[in-house]
Amino acid sequence: MIKERIAKLLEDAAREAQTKGHLPNVALPEMTVERPQNAEHGDYASAAPLKLARAARMNPLTIARHLADLFPQAEEIERVTVAPPGFINFTLKDDWLEKQVDSILSLGQEYGNVDLGKGGKVQVEFVSVNPTGPIHVGHGRGAVLGSTLANVLSAAGHKVSREYYVNDAGSQMDSFYRSLYSRYLQALGIESEMPANGYMGAYMIDLAREIISEEGRRFAEMPSEEAVSKLGKVGLQKMLTSIKEDLERIRVEFDVWFSERSLYDGGQYERAMKIIKDGGFVREREGAIWFVSTALGEDKDNVLVRSSGAPTYLASDVAYHYNKFLERGFDEVINIWGADHQGHVSRMKAVASALGIAPERLQIIISQMVTLRQGDLVLKVSKRTGELITLRELVDEVGADACRFFFLTRSADSQMDFDLELAKRQSEDNPVYYVQYAHARIASILRLAQERGIDFSAGDVSLLKTEPELTLIRKMLLLPELVETVALTLEPHHLPYYAQELATVFHAFYKQCRVVSPDIHMSKARLKLVSAVQITLARALSIMGVTAPEHM
Q: Give tens-digit pLDDT for 487-529.
A: 999 999 999 999 999 999 999 999 999 999 999 999 999 999 9
The mean pLDDT value for 224-248 works out to 97
Task: Give the tens place of pLDDT for each residue, 378-392.
Answer: 876 544 444 457 899
Residue 50 phi/psi, 5° resolution?
Answer: -65, -35
- Whether the link from the prior residue into 60 is cis, omega within 30° of 0, is no
pLDDT in the model for residue 38: 83
Q: CA-CA distance, 43 to 46, in Å (whole number)?
A: 11
pLDDT in the model for residue 381: 53
**C-beta atoms surrounding 73 within 10 Å:** 7
- Kindly report the three-state secondary structure assignment for every residue of 283-318: EEECCEEEECHHHHCCCCCEEEECCCCCECHHHHHH
Q: CA-CA distance, 397 to 276, in Å (whole number)?
A: 48
For 245, counting Cβ atoms within 10 Å of its Cβ (0-12 exposed, 13-18 middle, 19+ buried), the class is exposed
Q: Is the pLDDT of residue 325 over 50?
A: yes
For 21, counting Cβ atoms within 10 Å of its Cβ (0-12 exposed, 13-18 middle, 19+ buried), the class is exposed
Per-residue pLDDT band for 41 (boundaries 50, 70, 90) equals confident
Q: Is the pLDDT of residue 99 over 60?
A: yes
Q: CA-CA distance, 300 to 295, in Å (whole number)?
A: 9
For 302, counting Cβ atoms within 10 Å of its Cβ (0-12 exposed, 13-18 middle, 19+ buried), the class is middle
Task: Give the tens place of pLDDT for each residue, 387-420.
Answer: 457 899 999 999 999 999 999 999 999 999 999 9
The mean pLDDT value for 316-327 works out to 97
Q: Is the pLDDT of residue 83 over 50?
A: yes
Q: Is the pLDDT of residue 536 over 70?
A: yes
List the beta bridge partners of residue 258.
165
- Percentage of residues in the chain with pLDDT exceeding 70? 98
Q: Is the pLDDT of residue 366 over 60?
A: yes
Q: Is the pLDDT of residue 210 over 50?
A: yes
Average pLDDT, the chain: 95
| Biggest distance spanned by C-alpha atoms of the chain | 94
Distances (CA, A) of 273 to 323, 327, 361, 436, 462: 12, 14, 20, 51, 66
Q: CA-CA distance, 136 to 311, in Å (whole number)?
A: 28
**Domains present along the chain, CATH in parentheses:** 2-92 (3.30.1360.70), 97-114+428-544 (1.10.730.10), 171-249 (no CATH)
pLDDT in the model for residue 104: 98
DSSP label of 462 = G
The mean pLDDT value for 236-247 works out to 97
Distances (CA, A) of 543 to 146, 405, 410, 434: 12, 11, 16, 17
pLDDT in the model for residue 494: 98
E runs forming strands in 396-480? 416-419
Per-residue pLDDT band for 156 (boundaries 50, 70, 90) equals very high
pLDDT in the model for residue 378: 82
Per-residue pLDDT band for 242 (boundaries 50, 70, 90) equals very high
The mean pLDDT value for 135-147 works out to 95
Task: Give the tens place of pLDDT for each residue, 279-305.
Answer: 999 999 989 999 999 999 999 999 999
Distances (CA, A) of 376 to 370, 381, 420: 16, 16, 11
List the beta bridge partners of residue 332.
122
pLDDT in the model for residue 383: 43
pLDDT in the model for residue 380: 65
Pick from 12, 102, 1: nearest CA to 48: 12
